[in-house]
Amino acid sequence: MRKNTEGQIRIASSRTGSAKKFDEWPVRLPGGDDARFLVEYQAHENGLLFTATSQHPWFKDVIMGSGDPNRLKADIEALVRDRIERDREGEWAAGTKVSIRTERRRDTDYLRGSLEFRIDIEEVEFMPGALVGNRGQTPIRSEFRQEVIFQRGPEDVFTNALDDYRKQGLSGSILDPESAKYWNDPIRNECEKPMTRVIAPGDGAEVGVLVDTVERFLRAFGARMAPGRRAIEGTPAPEELVQLMKDSMPE
């Protein structure tokens, strides 16, 4: 083996040969389709060359190569982003996915517990008015994925539906039609605890104002319960919490 140059392995010419499989990289595209890139490597006199090809219609004309697999991966990701942007369809609209969870935990044996409140937001695109399946799921997508989700409120409970799947005694094999149906059903990802999930149309500005307001209220409530203020003013009454929320509203 010859002396290495910086960042590159050099291989004797006697060890060069035909290309060999290095890996296969799947990429999720809009519409739920997958593109798979076959990555091969071949030894050359000056080092290793990694090449990537795909049989997906978007990328059949592409052959990409690099001496560094990490650089090749970055180049493929840049190409995919460009093709996704170029092929986006006009019926998708901007929106914000908002998920809200509130959970109260109590210990019946001891005087302790917790109240957890969480808001998750994500910029997505959605198809206005489009419903999928007999439960009315909403198609959404972001840069590298597309999925269908349930818009739901805390009163919507999916425990029974999940139990129905479990009672079937599925084998877990993707070759089992019933198992495949379960693994591809969006209900598999539904939280069994109450939550809210909604798609808010637009650029997310209105959602941002609400989240900022809730944050100011929580910070104000924490400050109100600080030892110094509580020692002087006592524990706040519910009416005072209402006033704290009003004071947290944007000017």
The verdict on 156 and 120 lying in the same domain is yes
Q: Which domain holds residue 45?
A: 13-86
- Residue 70 maps to a domain: yes
Query: Phi/psi zone of residue 32: left (φ > 0), alpha (ψ -120 to 50 degrees), beta?
Result: left
Kindly report the CA angle at 161 between 157 and 162, in degrees rounded to 5? 95
According to the model, what pLDDT value does residue 135 have? Answer: 66
118 plus 140 within the same structural domain:
yes
Answer yes or no: is 6 within a domain. no
User: How many Å apart are CA 250 and CA 211, to the nearest integer?
Assistant: 11
Compute the distance between CA of residue 199 and CA of residue 130 in angstroms, rounded to an integer: 12
This prediction has a pTM of: 0.58
Could you tell me if 100 and 199 lie in one domain?
A: yes
What string of pLDDT tens digits covers the 251 residues of the chain?
344 444 333 444 444 457 788 888 888 877 677 888 999 888 866 678 888 888 887 777 677 888 888 888 888 888 888 767 756 655 788 999 999 999 888 876 666 788 899 999 999 988 887 676 666 788 787 766 667 788 988 888 776 655 666 666 555 443 445 555 565 566 766 767 788 999 999 999 999 999 999 999 999 999 999 999 999 999 999 999 999 999 999 98
Residue 5 domain flag: no
75 and 153 both lie in a single domain: no
State the total domains in the chain.
3
Question: Tokens at residue 30, please?
Answer: 């809009």
Same domain, yes or no: 195 and 116: yes
